[in-house]
Amino acid sequence: MMSWQIRTLSIIRFAAAGLRLLISGMPISIGSKAPDFTLKTKTADGLKDIKLSDNFGKKQTVLLFFPLAYTGTCTQEMCDMTAGLGDYTGLNAEVYGISVDSPFSLEAWAKQHKITVTLLSDLNKTVTKAYDVLFPMLAGVGDTSARAAFVIGKDGVIKYAEQTATPKDLPNFAAVKAALAK
């Protein structure tokens, strides 16, 4: 193959990957009832079930989907969230980080980086698919959660929904806080 053909093929592959993201990258919309779920978290006491609807009627919920533990942007996001967790508590919100990693991997990562956000394992990708934030073939290694943020009101309705353009982009946390303050 000629070098221009290789470049053209690379551009086509990149465009196709972007198109896949655009097609699948539309999270469920604001005003929709949030799909309920029960996911596992790992604590010092063992595995624990976290059910979204347990917050309904009590507090708002922030869901932060992220691709993979032990990656630069995901570590930055969860460490920054840990540092600012008090802001969300002050807005009567529970914050959950969700990825396709195992609960054991998430626990080790949280300990290593002193992450105190509750991390939930969506190993089977059922919640990722329910919120329509599946990122197909991230870096060619497999399907993961896209980076996305949702604010769910006490009534169980989505007040804010965002999927970032790329896995390296962070959600608009000012907009998340504004949605919580409404």
Q: How many C-beta atoms surround the C-beta of residue 123 within 10 A?
A: 15
Report how far apart, in Å, the C-alpha atoms of 59 and of each of 44, 51, 92, 103, 180 are: 25, 13, 6, 24, 10
Mark whether 79 is an active-site residue. no
Using a 10 angstrom Cβ sphere, with 0-12 exposed, 13-18 middle and 19 or more buried, the burial of residue 43 is: exposed
- In whole angstroms, give the CA distance from residue 148 to residue 48: 24
Which neighbouring-strand residues pair with 51?
38
Q: For residue 58, give the amino acid letter.
A: K
**Distance between terminal CA atoms of the chain?**
57
Catalytic residue among 63, 68, 74, 115: 74
- In whole angstroms, give the CA distance from residue 149 to residue 25: 12
Would you name the residues annotated as active-site residues?
Answer: 74
